[in-house]
A = this chain, B = another copy of it.
């Protein structure tokens, strides 16, 4: 992978395991940590920050030339007022790149041009980064039930959506 210069491989492998450990239930959490240790813990891993869990609230759908955000029915009440907006921020998840290796890439050649100097991912919009959150501003064309029709978005079909903001 020529784009990678320095990565967090070892750290992220540790974090993946320790990600099991939630503080929400002490007993369950202890068993979970034990499971990580038994089945995959790596010796010498630093303690990981706890992290936070995010869930899809909808998905990007593409069909017949139209692009839509389909909101999970559980979250439909959160759409009240979206119909009055002309544009919205869409936060989504680069799920095609959700591997420890791609989440450990810290520097890339912008636009995958190997001649371009390496740049840190925090100074680029690269779809590989520690937290795979994407951000796009889109035009709203129509809102019907749990579906928001939008102008095109630079995301694959069925990409998970995490949040919408005015």
* Cβ contact of A19, chosen from B53, B118, B164, cutoff 8 A: B53
A1-21 vs B: 1/0 string, CB under 8 Å?
000011010010001110110
Counted per complex, copies of this chain come to: 2
Is B81 in contact with A120, judged by CB distance below 8 angstroms?
yes
* Cβ contact of A39, chosen from B8, B25, B71, B132, cutoff 8 A: B25
CB distance from A136 to the nearest CB of B (A): 11
Is A78 in contact with B51, judged by CB distance below 8 angstroms?
no
Measured CA separation A166–B53 after assembly (Å): 24
Is B28 in contact with A40, judged by CB distance below 8 angstroms?
yes
* Cβ contact of A163, chosen from B72, B131, B163, cutoff 8 A: B131
| A56 proximity list for chain B (CB < 8 A) | 49, 51
* Cβ contact of A78, chosen from B77, B130, B166, cutoff 8 A: B130
Residues of A within 8 A of B (CB): 5-6, 8, 11, 15-17, 19-20, 22, 24-25, 27-28, 31-32, 35-36, 38-40, 48-49, 51-57, 71-72, 74-75, 77-82, 84-85, 88-89, 91, 93, 95, 98, 106-107, 118-125, 129-133, 135, 160, 162-166
What are 21 A-B contacts with C-beta separation under 8 Å?
A6-B77, A15-B53, A20-B32, A31-B35, A31-B38, A32-B35, A35-B35, A49-B56, A51-B55, A52-B93, A52-B95, A55-B130, A57-B131, A78-B106, A80-B119, A81-B119, A82-B123, A84-B123, A88-B122, A124-B166, A131-B162
